[in-house]
Amino acid sequence: MALDKMRIVGGNRLQGEILTSGSKNAALPLLAMTLLTRDPCELTAVPDLLDIQNMIKILRILGVDLTFLNHTVNAQTIKLNQVEAPYDFVRKMRASVLLLGPLLAKCGFARVSMPGGCAIGVRPINLHLKAFEALGAEIELKEGYVEAKASRLKGAEHTFESVTVTGTINALMAASLAVGESVFHNCAQEPEVFLTGEVLSKMGATVDGAGTKTIRIRGRNELKGFRADMIPDRIEAGTYLVASAITEGELFLRGANAEHLGAVIQKLRDCGAEIVEDVSGIFVKGKKLILPLEIQTAPFPGFPTDMQAQFMVLLSLARGRSLVHETIFENRFMHVAELIRMGADLKIKGPEVTIEGVQKLKGAPVMATDLRASASLVLAGLVSEGVTEVSRIYHLDRGYERMETKLASVGADIVRIMNQPEVEK
């Protein structure tokens, strides 16, 4: 698993239908929310991904009774064994920071390793901690761990200095068991935040404004269990939209929600792709001529940073000069060097990449560095001449369910090459 590779022979047009999986970034917070109640919880359409498996491992260590079968999680927290999320887990998945809010709110104490950086940036959590302090928590940093404690959190008014998706979600989870009402300003508006608010309301907290910049939440002493169906994964869907656009394909993404992909769909249309949205999914037809354009990443509803690497492949084949400006993460151009090795004409200037369109890309052995960069290398392989081998695809497995199966089912020449057994990194 750890050293598997993806081998792609480029040149096939993709045609057919792909079923969109449930959203990883919706499932991760909702799994953490099972800590907030003693009642049973059920999550459906949960994608089977490395990040989900890791979160499940941590929850079981903390003491949650949890089963995961056929994309359904059943979980119940009767009694916690511990309130510490060890470094060994957190270093593999920074989304473990989502355990802080629920543990602090439910147990009055939490000890979670600082996530440490990852390939795309330092990834601090200061904004999460400031929100917890606003609710009355005492925060201490000890030997690389965050220790948060509070006998009982109290509702407060708090403005996030800058937009943070998991920071907004963490604050809502903590405030759901606080005394009184909290109002959070400058919140993230991602669909995953909207779903978090919906589920906390189902659990008994009164939440207004989730999905907008200002969210009000009234905490409760106890929260009820919940059943929740994951929203479709908008980044997985966006990735396959680009796969169709670059291969002059005709794909139907069943279950994809066009409302979660407005900025991406608009940019694909601006590039010349034909897109039809309906209640059951999104149809995309790629064209031979790809028009160049400028992209600037931004918090939802802007163009998602998680689609920047994938879109760079499309713009590498456009007729003319394009520009990509990454405003969210400080180091999210790890895919650029690899795409250059495949023949793309890219120049990094600080937070911007200038792209001169080329006629074709050429297959090459390349290495994945982070989740979305690895997706962009697979996309490049689909449209390159010759063979591309993408190594270290455990990055891919963190966020894409059975990518090779889904792509092969619509005509891609792609196989996973199993390599030596798991080597604990």
Among 46, 58, 139, 165, binds ligand EPZ (CB under 6 A): 165
* List 22, 167, 191, 225, residue binding ligand EPZ (CB under 6 A): 167
Q: Provide the 3-class DSSP secondary structure of residue 161.
A: coil
Q: Which amino acid is at 385?
A: E
Stretch of residues binding ligand EPZ (CB under 6 A), selected from 32-40, 101-109, 122-130, 337-345: 122-130
d(C-alpha 234, C-alpha 307), whole Å: 10
Q: Which stretch binds ligand EPZ (CB under 6 A): 9-17, 121-129, 316-324, 343-351?
A: 121-129
- In the DSSP assignment, the letter for residue 41 is E
Residue 379 in the binding site for ligand EPZ (CB under 6 A): no
Q: In terms of Cα–Cα distance, which of 395, 295, 402 is closest to 19?
A: 402
* Residue of 378, 404, 272, 282 whose CA lies nearest to 17: 282
Q: What tokens does 294 get?
A: 């400028």
**Closer by beta carbon to ligand EPZ, 140 or else 222:** 140
Q: How far apart are CA 381 and CA 385, in angstroms?
A: 8
Q: Which phi-psi region, left, alpha or beta, contains residue 144 (left: φ > 0; alpha: ψ -120 to 50)?
A: left
- DSSP annotation string for 183-204: EEES----HHHHHHHHHHHHTT
Residue 95 contacts ligand EPZ per CB under 6 A: yes
Q: Closer to ligand EPZ at the Cβ: 115 or 204?
A: 115
Among 16, 121, 144, 365, binds ligand EPZ (CB under 6 A): 121
Cite the active site residues.
118
List the one residue out of 212, 302, 294, 297 whose CA is nearest residue 260: 302
* Residue 400 touching ligand EPZ (CB under 6 A): no
Q: Is 187 in the site for ligand EPZ (CB under 6 A)?
A: no
| CA angle 127–196–106, rounded 5-degree value | 70
Q: Report the residue from 12, 166, 196, 391 that binds ligand EPZ according to the rule CB under 6 A.
A: 166
| 164 is a site residue for ligand EPZ (CB under 6 A) | yes
Using rule CB under 6 A, residue 124 touches ligand EPZ: yes
With CB under 6 A as the contact rule, which of the stretches 39-47, 157-165, 314-322, 379-387 interacts with ligand EPZ? Answer: 157-165
In the chain, the amino acid numbered 332 is R
Nearest residue (CB) to ligand EPZ, 283 versus 329: 329
The one among 25, 77, 374, 388 contacting ligand EPZ by CB under 6 A: 25
Q: Which stretch binds ligand EPZ (CB under 6 A): 123-131, 214-222, 268-276, 379-387?
A: 123-131
Using a 10 angstrom Cβ sphere, with 0-12 exposed, 13-18 middle and 19 or more buried, the burial of residue 194 is buried
Among 5, 111, 128, 406, binds ligand EPZ (CB under 6 A): 128
| Contact set for ligand EPZ, span 303-342 (CB under 6 A) | 305-306, 328-329
What is the chain's Cα-based Rg? Answer: 21
374 binds ligand EPZ (CB under 6 A): no
CA dist list (Å): 88 to 128, 263, 291, 386, 399: 21, 37, 45, 39, 20
Chain contacts with ligand EPZ (rule: CB under 6 A): 25, 28, 95, 121, 123-128, 162, 164-167, 188, 305-306, 328-329, 371-372, 399
